[in-house]
Each structure stands twice: as C-alpha cells, then as structure tokens.
Amino acid sequence: MDFHRRRVDWAAVAAVPVFGWLVIPTTIHAERIGLSDPWLVMLAVPVGLLLAFRWPIASGVALAIGATWIRLVYLGVPDGSDQLIVSQAASQLAFSGGNPYGVGYDASWPRDGSPFVYGPLELLAAPPGRIVEALAAGGTLVILAFMRSFLTLAAIGSHYLFVQFGMSGINDNLPAFLILAGLVTMRRHRMAGALLLVLAAGVKPYAFAWFPAAIGFAGIPVALALIAGSAIIWSPLLLGWGIPSFIRSIELAALTHPFPENTLNMPQWRIIAVPLALASLLVRQWWVMVVAGLAIFCAVLFLDRWASYGYWLVVLPLVGMIGERAARFGLQAAVRMVRERSTTVMAPVS
C-alpha cells in the first residue's frame, strides 16, 4: 500500500471549472468589442486541470497567467476612470519642478479638477500606465495560488467585473498587490514584509491601515522600520511640498465627489478606527493582523461619504484568502475528528 500518496486538493480542482465558466463572458465581451486574441485565456483551463490533481499550486499559477493575459487584452479598452490620468498629470508636474498636491487637474474626467491624493511613489508608478496595474493584478493572483486560495483566485481572476474594472484606469491593483505581498511575507520575514507595506503606503495611503497590527504582530524593530521607511518615502511632501498642500488635495477630492457612493455614508462613525488601531497593537497572530487591518481600512473608507469601487480590489483578495484558510483548517479538523472517532469505534475491546 502506498502510504505516501499525494492528497488531492479539491479546491484547486474545483477552481479550474469555476475559472473556465466565469471567464467565458469576459472573453465574449472582449471579442465583441474587437480586442485581439482574448480566447487564448482558455488555454489556462486544460493546463490547470492537468496540473490540479498533483501540483495544485502550479495549477493556480497557470490560472493566474491566463488571468493576466486577459487583463493585458483589456488594455485595449479606453480609460473608464481618471485615477491614472490624474496621477500621470501630477507626475509630469512634479518632475517639471511643481507641487503635485493642492491643485485640480484639467485632464481629469468626467469631473474637471480632480486632485492628486496618493503617495509619492504613485508619481513613479503611474507614467507606464495600465500595464503596471495588469501585472500587479497578476502578481496578486500568483500570491493567492501560493496561499492555496484557489477559489478566490478563480473568481477574481476571471470574472468580467474584476477584469474590466481593474483595467479601466484605476490605480488600486498595485497597492493591493503590495499589501497582500507584505502581509504574506511578514509571516516568516517580518522586515521584508514591513518594507512591502511601506511601499504600498507610498503608493496609496490607505495601506497605513495595516501598520498598527503589523507593529503588534512583529514588534518594535518593525515599528521603527515602518516609521523610518515611510518618513523617507514621504519626505518630498514632508520637507518640500508641505502637508497643507496634501490636506488641500483631500478637500478638493471631497468637492469632486459631492454625492454618497459605494459607502454606508456614516462619516461620524469613522472614529471607531482609533480604538481599532489601538487594539491592533495587541495583535499576536498573523491572521488577526490581516483582519485587524481590514477592519481599520473598511472603517475609514467605507463609512465615509464616497469610496472608490477600486477599494474592493484590496479587500476581496484578503477576505478570500482568510476565508479559504479558515475553511481549510476547519475541514481538516473535522476530518481528523471523524477519523479519530472511527478508530475508537473500530478498536477491539480487550
């Protein structure tokens, strides 16, 4: 008898048909609007299925590669959001010697005058355009494969809403990737994980939501690294452009989004982020660190009057990863319990 046979990861097997089913409408839409070679993404399905029974992570990576391809295909769709457009305009202004903060940009649409409200690293990441976002989205999916979050990978990687919206000109894929990469890395390499979180916050400030829990989980050395790294990345604003200009950008952003959208619209309750942050300093478990940061993120952004739909690209991979991890551990515990009971029942009576 082969006592060392490889167990089948049925989540990896199930993820392949889920991916294949959900990606069909995505490819049909791409074909209808004249994009080139969208059906090549379907090659990921037989390859993923062949690998799933013996090499589940490799199967997940195959699906992630297919999902990255369909995102590259969707680069042919015109911009549907002005986030990258504004960031590129701000980058041009900054590199010509101006202050990118505190002003509205005429290049923005559908509203004129949208400001730049992101971190200094976004000024470097934005000029190449949406290809950076496509590759970052692919990186997120590869991480989900290594974390064995196969169903989350399949849904996010293939569904039309995630593909089309993620390639519409928003700039949330890159910080989403850096946040996920930082949190996953921090399990074993705390300083490296902290560096990735610093980079994420340098692109979009909402990544600061995970700093308190990261400090609680990883300790004072990581706290010092987070503070020092952030001070270096944000030094152009702190020492040059000035914090008041950043505050002015936030004020302008509120004016360009006068109506509630994608939130609970209870800004007075955002204060709960303060006790959540303080409690996060007591975190000692990795998964609690992830959830604590999510709680702060959602409290600050989804209780406000307006929130970008791009924020879901940050939230859903983390929720899926933690959810599948909990489900896997719960199922393994249930199987062990059944086996132990079966062994007890079948044991001979002496």
Give the model confidence (pLDDT) of 227-268 as tens digits.
999 999 999 999 999 999 999 999 999 888 888 888 999 999
In this prediction, residues 197-212 reach a mean pLDDT of 98
In this prediction, residues 55-76 reach a mean pLDDT of 97
In whole angstroms, give the CA distance from residue 201 to residue 230. Answer: 8
Looking at residue 1, what is its pLDDT? 36
Q: H-helix or E-strand containing 105?
A: strand 104-105
**216 has a pLDDT exceeding 70:** yes
Cβ within 8 Å of residue 232, ≥6 positions away = none
Looking at residue 5, what is its pLDDT? 52
Enter the tokens of residue 71: 């995102």
Q: Which residue has the higher pLDDT, 330 or 125?
A: 125
**4 has a pLDDT exceeding 50:** no
In this prediction, residues 192-213 reach a mean pLDDT of 98
Residues forming beta bridges with residue 114, ordered by sequence position: 105
Q: Per mean pLDDT, which range of 108-112, 181-185, 242-246 is the poorest?
A: 108-112
pTM of the predicted protein model = 0.94
In this prediction, residues 337-344 reach a mean pLDDT of 74
Looking at residue 200, what is its pLDDT? 99
**83 has a pLDDT exceeding 50:** yes
In whole angstroms, give the CA distance from residue 299 to residue 242. Answer: 27
Q: Please count the residues of the chain.
A: 350
Mean pLDDT of the chain: 94
Looking at residue 109, what is its pLDDT? 80
Give pLDDT tens digits for 253-312.
Answer: 988 888 888 899 999 999 999 999 999 999 999 999 999 999 999 999 999 999 999 999
Q: Where are the domains of the chain?
A: 10-346
In whole angstroms, give the CA distance from residue 71 to residue 347. Answer: 56
